[in-house]
Amino acid sequence: MDTDLAVMLIVLCALYIYPVLSVVLLWVTRHKPKARRALLVTSIALVSVALFGAITRISTTSTPLDWFILTSIYFITSICVWLAVINPNKIVKILGGLMLFIVFGAGYLAGTVGILGVGLTINEYVPESELCVGSDYIYKETNLGNVFAEYRGKRMEVYKIIAWLPIVEWQVYSKSNYNITPYPGDMEVNYSPSANTIYLSTTQAADSGMLIVRDSIRLNR
């Protein structure tokens, strides 16, 4: 399955299902304190992983898995909303009902009427191409902008794979080029271990014809 489509399905499923799934799980565990505690601990753990990854630029080598972990924030938000709604305190219950309308309303609106906007937003955060360079690095390239945006460009990123945990990667380089014509040709990526440098080359349209564009990424040892 295409990565963009997989991520889109994960986000839409989160928007559609998490509000219902959260209240069902809370209802099922209403007389099971250990099960509810496990549910809350697991949810909080996933959110902690998502926030830690966002702050440190550490992620997994699977883009769909990254987005699944990221959507856990919406899941724990859904649980908190329902816990407020069923709270015996009237003020908390009223606030919970208000948040239910705002949070879930915005979620279902984004998943229906705003589905195009969701897709365009996701497109700027899902790499168009990924390529392993050497044995330790992954080069990623992402399109920036869309038909409705006033800018176009490319984001180039390099991630280093953690040797003892190859499913985990951390970002060592990121550069965004705005207001440029998207490259019509594929990016040629070469890595020089001795120089610890990634060399890039592609073609780009110009008034005089097609030009060869070259760039290099020097990596810290």
162-210 pLDDT, tens digit each = 888 889 999 998 888 776 655 556 677 888 887 778 888 777 666 666 6
pLDDT at residue number 221: 61
In tens, the pLDDT along 64-75 reads 999 999 999 999
Residue 121's pLDDT band (boundaries 50, 70, 90)?
A: confident
Which residue from 221, 54, 219, 55 is spatially nearest to 139, judged by alpha carbons? 219
User: What's the half-sphere exposure (Cβ side, CA atoms, 13 Å) at 95?
Assistant: 9
Q: How far apart are CA 44 and CA 38, in angstroms?
A: 10
pLDDT attached to residue 27: 94
108 Cβ contact partners less than 8 Å away, ≥ 6 residues apart: 15, 16, 19
Output the pTM of the full model. 0.85
Q: What is the pLDDT of residues 36-70, one digit of tens each?
A: 999 999 999 999 999 999 999 999 999 999 999 99
Q: Are 110 and 121 in contact (CB under 8 A)?
A: no
CA 125 to chain centre: 6
Q: What percent of the chain has pLDDT over 90?
A: 49
Cα gap 182→129, rounded to integer Å: 13
How far, in Å, CA of 172 to CA of 52, rounded?
A: 16
- State how beta strands 188-192 and 129-133 pair: unpaired
